[in-house]
Structure 1
Amino acid sequence: MLYIDWQPSIEVFRIGIFSLKWYSLLWMFGLMFAYMIVKHLYKQQGIPEEKFYPQFFYCFIGVLAGARLGHCLFYQPDYFLTSGKGIIEMFLPIHIQDNGSWSYIGYRGLASHGGTIGLFVALAFYWRKENLKPMMVLDNVAIAAPATACCIRLGNLMNSEIIGRTTDMPWAFIFHTQEALVNRELVPRHPTQLYEALAYLLIFAIGISLYQYWRKSQHMRTTSPIAVGSGFYFGYCIMTIFTFRFFVEFLKKEQVDFEQGMLLDMGQLLSIPLVLVGLWCMIKK
């Protein structure tokens, strides 16, 4: 009775054949928060609005495409790369039946590492087109990114996906997933999605506080190592997020079969280079 019995509806509401899912709604909130934050930062820094508006389009396409391709290539290449059906489903939000019919299911499977890589690629096109300094763009996006990551992990929580290993901690969740019901594994588990969401919210709060501290100290003549454009915020963001991601993976249930028996899972292996890049950006000054 001490544990949290977790079986919420994945839908916010349904009208006829249309349904709005919590995961989609929280993704939308995450992108909206990032949009508003970066717009405010650009205004404070005197960057023209006409240079800001195209950025949302680049970020949206980059994150979505990167996250989708990252999941397909890193976690399920045996399914998506071995047939024409799999290749089509990799790009289109549908599922193709054996008889040739298809149904709309949305993009089931998005990887944060792929989304991060996709974001880098999209922003590279953006700053070249708008003639902006790369680190200026990356730092501003990095200040807002943890807020978006927090919302996405809350979406994972509402979907009861990316669940943790079994535990007897009093805050454990009992996830009523389809797999758990079939295998009769309704056992208390770490709510790793909630751990990540809270960590990313804290990372965001610290990052925005450092930014405000820099803004207040701009009257100083010396060059600040945490000035926007120095690369500090970009480094801080990916270093802290993926360091936490590396360690929280030890509490997660394996997402795919091939991870069983691995010393480090796919999420940890992909996190290591991002942590190193983040550290380099933070200390290079």
Structure 2
Amino acid sequence: MTIWNPSIVAFSLGPIEVRWYSLCWCIGLALAYVVVYKLYKRQGIPQEKFDPLFLYCFIGILAGARLGHCLLYEPGYFLSHPLEMLLPMHKMADGSWKFTGYAGLASHGGTFGLMIALWLYVRRTKVNLMRVLDNIAIATPICACFIRLGNLMNSEIVGKYTGSDMGFVFVQLHETMPRYPAQLYEAIAYLVLFVVGVLIYFKRPQRVGSGFYFGYCLTTIFVFRFAVEFLKEVQEPWELAMQHSIGLDQGQLLSIPFVLIGIYCMCGGKWCKRFAEK
């Protein structure tokens, strides 16, 4: 049994508190940035075509993840409080505003937002679409790993009770019973997927641009995401009725299309070949 009670604040700079969640996001994005930079350099893609990529990815992931959470998990609240979808703040009962950060980000929405951002990036830079998707996909799991570590430091997206002495006791949730550390399971899985993806790349660099690595990333990440959801608590109470009726939660339903797209790309579907030829 592990008693889990870390501070959510990593360090302070005067009155500014830097939280572990934000720090993990920044580390994950920075590592992904370095990986893609190295890949572009190895493939001879000009520096000026790499420079705008980070901005497109950052905005696409953040906007997609935020809107995904608001519209897929809490539409009733956020459609009546639209400013809170865009601002990292919460309107209090007395009418004042409190800075909370973006408390609610959905990985499925982030993935969709990233795809749109990369499409816009390709239109501007004229870099081959499948090459861009493959390069980003090789780096994505390391970013996902650190995002889940941030969730762990926040004691959020927790697993179900283990029913034994094994697991993490999340003190910040005012609990005394151990749960599965589902966030840690995901972080470890994504780290392994990143290492495996890099090893495959070094053996098969010529497959970049075919859509294979994009498919690998989608398939492996969302297959694991689908599986680990069975150990997680639902994020919203209404998902309990969904689980009772069909045996799956929202995260699992949203994972299925990404898995199917991933398998299609790994198998070299005709649309992948079409875009790879451009």
Is TM more than 0.5 here?
Answer: yes
1:140 is matched with 135
Matched, 1:234 2:218: no
In the alignment, what sits opposite 1:218?
none
Q: Check if 1:283 corresponds to 2:267.
A: yes
Structure 1 residue 274 displacement after superposition: 0.1
The structure 1 segments of at least 4 consecutive aligned residues displaced by more than 2 Å after TM superposition are 14-17, 168-171
Q: Which residue of 2 aligns with 1:25?
A: 23
Deviations 1:162-213 (A, max 9, x none): 0000114665100113xx42xxx42110000000000000100110000001
Correspondent of 1:270 among 245, 254, 257? 254
> What CA distance in whole angstroms lies between the structure 1 residues aligned with 2:98 and 2:156?
22
Question: Which consecutive unaligned segments of at least 5 residues does structure 1 have?
Answer: 216-223
Residue of structure 1 equivalent to 2:75: 77
Partner-residue secondary structure (3-state), 2:11: strand
CA distance in 1, matches of 2:64, 2:164: 35
Q: Is the aligned partner of 1:90 residue 2:75?
A: no
2:192 aligned partner: 202
Residue 113 of structure 1: aligned partner: 108
1:251 correspondence with 2:231: yes
2: CA distance, partners of 1:124 / 1:89: 27
- How do residues 29-178 of structure 1 correspond to structure 2 at under 5 angstroms? 29-81=27-79, 83=80, 86-168=81-163, 171-177=166-172
TM-score computed with the length of structure 1 as normaliser: 0.90
Give the secondary-structure state (helix, strand or coil) at the position aligned to 2:10.
strand
| Pairwise CA distance, 1:95 | 1.0
Residues 120-154 of structure 1, C-alpha deviation per residue, up to 9 Å, x if partnerless? Answer: 00000001110111100000000000000000000
Q: Is contact 2:210-2:268 (8 Å) kept?
A: no
The equivalent residue for 1:221 is: none
Give the match for residue 240 of structure 2. 260
**Match for 1:190 among 173, 176, 180?**
180
Give the match for residue 5 of structure 1: 3
Q: d(CA) in 2 for partners of 1:101 and 1:153?
A: 31
In the TM superposition, residue 98 of structure 1 has moved relative to its aligned partner by: 2.6
Superposed displacement of residue 38, structure 1: 0.2
Distance 1:255 1:271 in 2: 15
Letter in 1 for 2:194: F
Q: Which region of structure 1 is more displaced relative to structure 2, 261-270 or 67-76? A: 261-270
Alpha-carbon shift at residue 14 of structure 1 (Å):
2.5
Give the Cα–Cα distance (whole angstroms) in 2 for the partners of residues 230 and 15 of structure 1.
Answer: 46
The 8 Å contact of residues 215 and 266 in structure 2, kept in 1 or not, is answered as yes
Percent identical among aligned pairs is 57
Distance in 2 of aligned mates of 1:48 and 1:14 = 39
Deviates more, 1:56-65 or 1:7-16: 7-16
Secondary structure at the counterpart of residue 188 of structure 1: coil
Is the 8 Å Cα contact of residues 214 and 262 (structure 2) preserved in structure 1?
yes
TM-score of the aligned structures, taking structure 2 as reference length = 0.93
1:20 is paired with a residue of what secondary structure? strand
Number of equivalences: 265
Q: CA RMSD in A?
A: 1.2
Checking the alignment, whether the CA contact within 8 Å between 2:223 and 2:259 is kept in structure 1 is: yes
Q: Distance in 1 between matches of 2:99 and 2:46?
A: 40
